[in-house]
A and B are shown apart, each in its own frame.
With several copies, the nearest count.
Chain A
């Protein structure tokens, strides 16, 4: 397991991605190595409001001077993300990372991977896409959102896909860009048309993940889902973030996840 650290970080860049989402870049003083699907627990300021850190998937990590730049893609939904959206550049925060497991990235043999992202579920998927591109492992990338404006980082997604000669499929609920309807339907259409995948790796809203779990169960496709349970500690001690497994156990998402094989999850995920 990659060692977990409580890293002092500084906000060094921020840019708007959509009406609700932004990219945050944090610089660390020490090297960070992390796998796609892992996340970090980030403070949103230095006081008691909010009290707890917030969980964000790592969207990318690259070396920078003696340390690293950790990238996150964040949707402003409440107080914590609102503070992060408006912190001055240079602000000091703390990041507990890397946490959790990660996606199972293919070893290059056989079929392609399907990467599936819904809305702000993109960050771990983008991280995976860029790593796979760097390793030249083939994949298609399905990117869904409510509307065209909320399709994030399309350019980077396209670049990554092009490296490996995969397909970038865009889907919007309102049909304003790409295929109309849910992104899972776009996956299903291709499966129905005979496309085969080694495995699907997905992150997005729970209904999307459940749809994909069902699809996987019906079509015999192995599916890995990155789950979002409300987290307090992020390191497996508070037992706040548990998810129920097929065998009835409650396991902490932050430690045994956030990525789970859909087949390991309790049956209602696939029903």
Chain B
């Protein structure tokens, strides 16, 4: 059976629904030997800030049951180095690039976008709004609908490229936040980012991570992510969604599509296995073939009840 894996996130065409998630695929070229980025639906860059960032002290990662907690602290090479060192090659390879953007102030987000606007080859921006908003006392941008809407609106005004907003599962009111992002001008929503979590070393009597808490990802969170995609999809059926959280197999992708996602991102699975995103795309094709799905878009929002 010939399966079409092509999908769209809003008006953006993807050759298949499987993208690499931010923070687990470097700047798109780091894992070329294992997973040629041009064969994925797209790649989301590590979160970029206006200037390079050192990130948090170590330990930054800890394994948990079917998951991991990270507190990388958004270490990155900065938007300038990305545009200079990675973007040209990504363009040459025809990779669908989504730039993950974050800042500690609204201006910082705008700075990253403004720098990116000077170059070709970026399909969309994905705003990571799970970072502490320094001007609002450290509360995450994604936690208050009003703040979020104003951030998104300012970003919207600064670019005609597609704007995705990546929702935080820690936000108090998921659907309100989703709506605020859309009202601010988001073209699509990515969900979910990591869940705030903690690991403790009982012998040392200390938190394992240097920052005490971090973000939980991996298969452990998949049931929560699916529920959130389903919830947002039912509240805002017209809004394109990108499903994220614990995806490890082609069948997992199908689950997210059925819940209402138009595409997905794979994070922790890549940390476990650098070839994962490609393998998962292959498994999705096999799943479709085995179950008579000629066109993967049939699955999107396709729950029968």
> Which A residues fall within an 8 A CB radius of B?
3-6, 48-53, 94, 96, 229-230, 232-233, 235-243, 248-250
Contacts and interface: CB of A to CB of B under 8 A. Distances in A.
Interface residues of B, number: 35
Interface of B: 23-26, 30-31, 33-34, 46, 54-55, 58-68, 70, 72, 75, 218-219, 248, 268, 270-275
A250 B57 CA distance: 9
B271 A233 contact: yes
Contact of B65 (A4, A48, A53, A230): A48
Given A236-B26, A238-B70, 12 more contacts: A6-B274, A48-B65, A48-B66, A48-B248, A51-B268, A51-B272, A235-B31, A235-B34, A237-B270, A239-B23, A239-B75, A240-B70
7 contacts: A6-B34, A6-B273, A51-B66, A96-B274, A235-B31, A237-B26, A249-B54
Nearest to A253: B58
Contacts of A235: 30-31, 34, 274
Chief secondary structure at chain A's binding surface: loop
Given A6-B34, A230-B62, A238 B23 contact: yes
A96 B272 CA distance: 10
A17 to B, nearest CB: 26
Given A52-B68, A250-B75, A240 B273 contact: no
Nearest to B25: A237
Contacts of A250: 54-55, 75
A238 B24 contact: yes
- The listed residue with most B CB atoms (<10 A of its CB), out of A51, A230, A236, is A51
A52 B272 contact: yes
Given A4-B34, A232-B61, A239 B72 contact: yes
A51 B61 contact: no
B72 A238 contact: yes
A53 B55 contact: no
Contact of A242 (B60, B219, B248): B60
Contacts of B65: 48-49
Contacts of A230: 58-59, 61-62
A240 B72 CA distance: 6
A97 B268 CA distance: 19
B60 A233 contact: no
A229 B57 CA distance: 12
A242 B58 contact: yes
A44 to B, nearest CB: 11
Contact of A240 (B25, B26, B61, B275): B61
B244 to A, nearest CB: 16
Contact of A233 (B58, B67, B270): B270
A157 B63 CA distance: 35
Contacts of B66: 48-49, 51
A249 B61 CA distance: 18
Contacts of B275: 6
Query: Which 6 residue pairs across A and B have the least CB separation, nearest first?
Result: A240-B61, A233-B271, A237-B26, A48-B66, A239-B72, A232-B61
A239 B58 CA distance: 10
Contacts of A229: 58
A237 B54 CA distance: 14
Contacts of B271: 52, 232-233, 237-238
A201 to B, nearest CB: 24
Nearest to A53: B272
Contacts of B61: 230, 232, 238, 240-241
